[in-house]
């Protein structure tokens, strides 16, 4: 990563390869792990890779931004199949691909059946007979067959056997030459995927990663016999990256939002302890690096300042914290705040404040920005006196430094 990238936050990547129907229309995308923007092939196909794809797709890019309304295929390793790692999203848009490397013992078979019962469709990746994956044909929705070697006899035999299960759609994968496509068409495959049609596109985005220590603290708070909601909220709001991801994760709740949220507290309530625990677990597995301490401190100080002065401006303190947080996050990532909020499930007054400076929350934001920028024209019209602002600002900076150092630990260096 370059110095300019590092200053804007961590850059994360996801590979996206289309799946086509016989008419040549894109009907889905497979999301793939990519460790870098120039990485052609996946360097990992393990639980780390799957976790990072899920976390990045849902809480960084947003699934709708990545695949629109199309079906999304995500590789699944044994840890997810048997339930050692939970899927933090509801059934609906995602097809779970069972990798050919997963040993199909009784535990894996039972785990796959449990996922299907919960409503998740599954696909059998790189399918061949004899590895045990044929035990899943009764419940699979898709079977992906490698056509790269051009062995017509083998491919025809596997396809014909799978046709005994009328509920299954056949996917020709590794379609890398015209003859592969012709063979798949002749055999009546429903979907096609491969370089002859489209290469994998690597999409990248700047992100603010949550601290590993704070995620561990949150996970511990969520695994007790009784979850203290206020404590959970306090942990989440103490880390801007974690707050951002919890807000984004509400997009994956129940396949969409029934209402908009205006605070981290509402997002925590909407997701519930179990879902947040699942997301945090995957964040820990994905092991994404932190950004520099001074960037985190600035974002946290802005959030706390807005929260502190909100009551004087007749605004919600919780909502003001989110406004200040996202103002800081946008600066850390180096993106317009309007672009950032477009992908978040925010209440109208929060969005209006950030994008247009409207309403009481907009006044909070304007006042905080005015103080930070020493803008006398703004401060002269503020309901908050200079003395009050100075006290609130110093308190916010002190709080943010203590919080961030507590999160990152004394050995963290930028």
Identify whether the C-beta of residue 109 lies closer than 8 Å to the C-beta of residue 138: no
Structure token pair of residue 203: 């999409």
CATH of domain 3-205: 3.20.20.450
Q: DSSP assignment, residue 211?
A: P
Across residues 117-129, what is the average pLDDT? 93
pLDDT at 382: 77
245 or 17, which is more confident?
17
Across residues 134-143, what is the average pLDDT? 95
Q: Where are the domains of the chain?
A: 3-205, 209-414
pLDDT at 289: 37
Least confident interval from 248-257, 293-302, 390-399: 248-257
CATH 1.10.3860.10 correct for 209-414: no
Q: Which residue has the tokens 């180096």?
A: 334
- How many other CB atoms sit within 10 Å of the CB of residue 222? 21
Across residues 88-102, what is the average pLDDT? 88
Instruction: Check pLDDT > 90 for residue 92.
Output: no
pTM: 0.59
pLDDT at 145: 95
Cα four-point dihedral sign 261, 262, 265, 266: negative
pLDDT at 255: 47
Give me the chain's average pLDDT, please.
79
pLDDT at 141: 96
Least confident interval from 186-190, 274-278, 302-306, 318-322: 274-278
92 or 380, which is more confident?
92
């Amino acid at each position: 990563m370059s110095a300019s990238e590092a200053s804007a936050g961590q850059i994360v990547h996801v590979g996206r390869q289309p799946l086509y129907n016989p008419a040549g229309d894109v009907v889905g995308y497979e999301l793939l792990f990519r460790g870098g923007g120039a990485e052609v092939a996946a360097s990992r196909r393990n639980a780390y890779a799957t976790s990072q794809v899920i976390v990045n797709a849902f809480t960084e890019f947003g699934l709708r931004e990545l695949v629109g309304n199309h079906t999304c295929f995500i590789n699944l390793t044994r840890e997810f199949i048997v339930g050692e790692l939970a899927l933090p999203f509801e059934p609906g848009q995602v097809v779970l691909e069972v990798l050919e490397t997963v040993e199909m013992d009784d535990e894996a078979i039972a785990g796959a059946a449990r996922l299907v019962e919960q409503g998740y469709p599954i696909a059998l990746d790189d399918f061949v007979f004899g590895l045990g994956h044929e035990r899943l044909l009764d419940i699979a929705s898709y079977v992906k067959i490698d056509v790269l070697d051009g062995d017509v006899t083998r491919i025809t035999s596997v396809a014909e056997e799978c046709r005994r299960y009328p509920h299954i759609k056949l996917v020709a994968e590794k379609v890398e030459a015209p003859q592969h496509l012709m063979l798949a068409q002749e055999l009546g495959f429903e979907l096609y995927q491969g370089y002859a049609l489209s290469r994998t596109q690597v999409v990248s985005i700047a992100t603010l990663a949550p601290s590993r220590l704070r995620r561990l603290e949150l996970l511990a708070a969520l695994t007790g016999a009784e979850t203290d909601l206020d404590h959970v909220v306090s942990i989440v709001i103490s880390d801007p990256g974690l707050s951002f991801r919890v807000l984004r994760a509400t997009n994956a709740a129940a396949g969409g939002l029934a209402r908009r949220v205006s605070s981290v507290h509402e997002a925590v309530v909407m997701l519930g302890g179990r879902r947040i625990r699942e997301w945090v677990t995957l964040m820990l597995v994905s092991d994404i690096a932190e950004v520099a301490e001074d960037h985190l401190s600035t974002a946290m100080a802005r959030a706390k300042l807005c929260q502190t002065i909100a009551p004087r401006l007749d605004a919600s303190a919780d909502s003001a914290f989110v406004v200040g947080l996202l103002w800081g996050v946008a600066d850390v990532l180096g993106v317009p705040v309007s672009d950032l909020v477009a992908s978040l499930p925010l209440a109208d007054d929060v969005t209006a404040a950030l994008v247009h400076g409207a309403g009481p929350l907009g006044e909070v934001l304007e006042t905080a920005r005015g103080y930070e920028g020493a803008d006398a024209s703004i401060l002269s019209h503020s309901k908050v006196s200079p003395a009050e602002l100075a006290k609130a600002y110093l308190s916010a900076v002190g709080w943010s430094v203590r919080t961030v150092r507590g999160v990152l630990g004394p050995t963290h260096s930028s």
